[in-house]
């Protein structure tokens, strides 16, 4: 179980390019239409088989549940739930901008403050 968590953290911590993030979003939108075959999804996304399975692995590592039934993939939860778990590309913020965005009381603000603390703590 711990090994699976480490693998998920490793996969989702990789930088996701804006192009890949857009493709993953399109994949979810296609799956929202209903169960789809691998070949249809691959054609719709212009992906070869390796790229398709890499994207599936990243989605699963991000906690997006997919089901394969009778040769067709489908989302196990709503597309809105899946989109909320998609990895986001690095926004290329500078530290000042990140500090400005970290002001607030939500879980997201705390997460950003934690990342900032890791950066500042390493530089001391």
- Domains assigned to the chain: 2-85 (1.10.10.10), 91-124 (no CATH)
What does the pLDDT read at residue 16? 86
Please, what is the average pLDDT of the chain? 87
Burial of 73 (0-12, 13-18, 19+ CB in 10 A): buried
Q: What is the pTM of this model?
A: 0.74
Q: Does position 100 have pLDDT exceeding 60, yes or no?
A: yes
Mean pLDDT of 101-116: 92
Each residue's pLDDT tens digit, 19-73? 999 999 999 999 999 999 999 999 999 999 999 999 999 999 999 999 999 999 9
What does the pLDDT read at residue 8? 54
**Rounded alpha-carbon distances, angstroms, from residue 17 to 54, 68, 91, 123, 124:** 14, 27, 10, 27, 30
**Partner residues linked to 37 by β-bridges:** 72
What does the pLDDT read at residue 124? 39
Here the tokens at position 114 are: 């934690």
């Amino acid at each position: 179980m711990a090994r699976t968590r480490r693998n998920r953290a490793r996969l989702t911590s990789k930088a996701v390019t804006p192009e890949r993030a857009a493709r993953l979003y399109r994949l979810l939108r296609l799956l929202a239409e209903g169960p789809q075959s691998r070949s249809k999804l691959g054609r719709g996304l212009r992906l070869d088989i390796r790229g398709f399975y890499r994207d599936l692995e990243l989605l699963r590592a991000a906690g997006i549940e997919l089901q394969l039934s009778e040769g067709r993939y489908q989302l196990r939860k709503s597309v809105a739930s899946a989109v909320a778990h998609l990895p986001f590309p690095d926004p290329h913020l500078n530290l000042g901008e990140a500090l400005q965005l970290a002001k607030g009381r939500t879980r997201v603000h705390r997460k950003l403050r934690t990342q900032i603390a890791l950066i500042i703590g390493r530089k001391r």
